[in-house]
Amino acid sequence: MRLRVVTWNVNSVRLRAEQVAKFVAENEVDVLCMQETKCQQGEFPTAAFVDAGLPHIAIRGQKGWHGVATASRLPFEPGPHLDLCKNGHAREVCVKVAGVEIHNFYIPAGGDIPDRELNPKFDHKLDFYERLTKAMAARDPKEAIMLTGDMNVAPGEHDVWNHKYMSKVVSHTPIELEAMAALKASLGFTDAVREAIPDPQKLFSWWSYRAADFRASNRGLRLDHLWVSPGLDPAIRQQGGVSARVHDHVREWERPSDHAPVSLDLML
């Protein structure tokens, strides 16, 4: 069976429930992992997702900030809660769908100053990565595990609009790249989107609202990721290559999120 998993920082699920329904219908989404839902559990627009064909929903929300939710066409079981956020924010949810353990994260952005001592937000971000790396290092690589979500790091030279400039800006600094590389190495994860669309092609999933025309300025970052463990790696390698893409046209819609959806197909 094909399982199409999408990650999307929706930047308020209540504002964009109609956009989500449109995207799901047009792209045959099976599992949708959302970040920055910005609502408490009882405020989540559940009926809209049921109507869209995603009736199975796992929600971790909080008032006005952060929040993650995973909605699925298929029934799922709750996955392990890893307790990664030292500040207790709603930043992670995990479900097991069709034998795949899908971890959905909204990793802290990290503020403006790339210094752990001067900036508690940056320390929070690195602490989240360190806890997640430790948790994954204890797992069996043969297990079918996916890490996905807004991970708030653009890892490669071609994942940012200007490598030299961005290397001094939070999201692409050396210490963040090291933290992400350590997480990737912890279980031998594959960055599925880069497998599908290799360097040196520029690839972004986020563009600032500051630009009137995001395509003209094209100062983007690839912050949204879909990674698979070695046990799941064969499921992404279909005949003809890995099927993953950034749906950047969604960023053109009226009142869009600043992030575009990113999808990956698994053959299970």
Q: What is the DSSP letter of 5?
A: E
**Tell me, what's the pLDDT at 147?**
98
* Rounded Cα–Cα distance for residues 37 and 45 (Å): 10
**Tell me, what's the pLDDT at 17?**
97
pLDDT at 240 over 90: no
Closest CA to 36 of 255, 202, 224: 224
Share of the chain above pLDDT 90, in %: 98
| DSSP assignment string, 234-255 | HHHEETTEE-EEE-GGGGGSSS
pLDDT tens across 116-131, in order? 999 999 999 999 999 9
- pLDDT-based confidence at residue 61 (cuts at 50, 70, 90): very high
pLDDT at 239 over 80: no
**What CATH number is attached to the domain comprising 88?**
3.60.10.10
- pLDDT-based confidence at residue 249 (cuts at 50, 70, 90): very high
pTM (2 d.p.)? 0.97
pLDDT at 151 over 80: yes
Count of beta carbons in the 10 Å neighbourhood of residue 35: 31
**Tell me, what's the pLDDT at 165?**
97
Split into its structural domains, the chain has a count of: 1
* Rounded Cα–Cα distance for residues 157 and 133 (Å): 22
Radius of gyration (C-alpha) of the chain in whole angstroms? 17
Q: Which residues pair with 246 in a beta bridge?
A: 262
The helix (H) or strand (E) run that includes residue 262 is strand 262-267
pLDDT tens across 63-103, in order? 999 999 999 999 999 999 999 999 999 999 999 999 999 99
Please identify which residue in the block is written with the tokens 């094909």.
2
Q: Give yes or no for a contact between 209 and 255, defined as CB atoms under 8 angstroms apart.
A: no
* Rounded Cα–Cα distance for residues 141 and 131 (Å): 18
165: containing domain = 2-267
